[in-house]
Amino acid sequence: MKCRVCGQPANINLKAYNTALCAEDFISFLENRVLHTIKKYHLIEDGDIPVVAVSGGKDSLSLWHIMNKLGYGADGIYIHLGIGEYSDISLTKIQHMADTLKRKVYIFNVHDLFRKGIDELARAMRRPPCSACGMVKRYIMNRVCIDKGYTVLVTGHNIDDEASALFGNLLYWKREYLWKKNMVLHGIEGHLSKKVKPLFLCSEREMAAYAILCNIDYIYEECPFSVDAKSLVYKGMLNKLEELSPGTKIRFLKGYVKMVKEEVEERDYCAICGYPSYGGKCNFCRLLERFKIQGNIYFEEHGACNLDSPQRMVT
C-alpha cells in the first residue's frame, strides 16, 4: 500500500477516509483534522485563552502537543487523584510534556485537600469512584478556568469515547444527557467555563498512532477504575459496525452535531463559590462541609485554587 500524498510506502490505513498514509503525512493529516474541527465548529475563537485537561494518557497529551504546535498556546490542568502508581506515573509524563512545551501546568492533589485519595473519598461518599472523580474533576477544572482567567477548557475525548457514550444515552433515552455530548458546551460568564473537544472526530487508533509517531511519552496503563463493562461493549459493537461500513462513527457523530440543540437549564448558583448548583450550595461545597474542611481558607492559603505549587512557567 502506498501513501496517497507522497507515494512512499504507507504506515497507516484509514478506511474511514478510504486512504493510506506514510508517517509524516499522517501526522499532518491528523493535525489538520484537529485544526479543521476547531475552526469549523468554532471551538476556540479569537481572544480565547484555552487550557487543556491532561490525564497523562495518549489523547490528552497528544492534544496538548497539537494545540501548541498549531499556535493555540495552551497551559494544562492535572488532577492528581491519589490512585497509587497510576497517578504518580501520569504526573511525571505531564511534567515532562509541560517542560517540552514550556507551558504552565496546574496540579491539584485530591489528597492535599481531603486527606484521602479518590477511592477512599468515593467510599466515604458511598458513590462509585468514577462518580466522585467526575464531580471533583468538573469542579476543580472549572474553578481553575474561572479563577485563572482561561476562557475555554479543552478535553481529549475522542470519537470512540463520544460515540459509545452517545450510543448508551440513546439506548436508554437519557434525554437530559443527550445534548451534553456535543463538542462545544457553552459557559456562563463568571460561573461556568466553555468546554470543547477538538478530538471529537479522531479515533483512539489514530491518536495512539499519532502519539507513537511523535514520540509522545504517555502512560499506557488505563485508570484501574476505567473498566466500565457497558462502554466497552458499546465500543466493541460500534467497531464492528465500523468494520462493516467504514465511516459509520464519523457519520453518527456529525449527524448528531447537526441536529442537537443545547438546552438552557434552569440554574441556581452556589451561595459559597458561585458554581452552578441545583440548591443553595453546590455538591463540592457540601462535600467540604461534610468533611469539615474550610474550603475557602484552604484555597486562599494555597493560592487562588491551591494549584500554584509545581508549575512550569511560560518563557
- Cβ at position 81, least distance to ligand Q46 in Å: 6
**Integer angstrom CA distances of residue 222 from 41, 87, 239, 280, 296:** 30, 10, 20, 36, 33
Distance CA 93, CA 311 (A): 14
129 lies in the binding site for ligand Q46 (CB under 6 A):
yes
Residues 238-277 that bind Zn ion (CB under 5 A): 270, 272-273, 275
Which of these, 13, 66, 82, 75, lies nearest to 48 by C-alpha position?
A: 75
Residue 133 binding ligand Q46, by CB under 6 A: yes
Q: List the single partner that 285 binds among ligand Q46, Zn ion, none, CB under 5 to 8 Å by kind.
A: Zn ion
Smaller CB separation from ligand Q46, 128 or 279: 128
Closer CB to ligand Q46, 222 or 308, in the complex = 222
Contacts with Zn ion in 283-312 (CB under 5 A)?
Answer: 285
Going from the C-alpha of 229 to that of each of 87, 120, 232, the distances in angstroms are 22, 22, 5
**Nearest alpha carbon to residue 141 among 187, 181, 100, 175:** 187
Minimum distance between the CB of residue 286 and Zn ion, rounded to whole angstroms?
8
Based on the shown chain and the rule CB under 6 A, indicate whether residue 130 belongs to the binding site for ligand Q46: yes
Specify the length of the chain in residues.
315
Binding residues for ligand Q46 restricted to 224-253, rule: CB under 6 A: 225-226
Q: Residue 223 binds which entry of ligand Q46, Zn ion, none, with Cβ cut-offs from 5 to 8 Å by kind? A: ligand Q46
CB-based contact 19:4 (threshold 8 Å): yes
Q: Which parts of 134-153 interact with ligand Q46 (CB under 6 A)?
A: 134
- Retrieve residue 118's grid coordinates: 479518590
Helix (H) or strand (E) holding 164: helix 159-171
Which listed option, ligand Q46, Zn ion, none, makes contact with residue 113 (CB within 5 to 8 Å by class)?
none
User: CA angle, corner 138, sides to 94 and 81, nearest 5?
Assistant: 45
Options 223, 250, 282, 287; binder of ligand Q46; rule CB under 6 A: 223
Binding site for Zn ion (CB under 5 A): 270, 272-273, 275, 282, 285
Binding site for ligand Q46 (CB under 6 A): 118, 129-130, 133-134, 223, 225-226
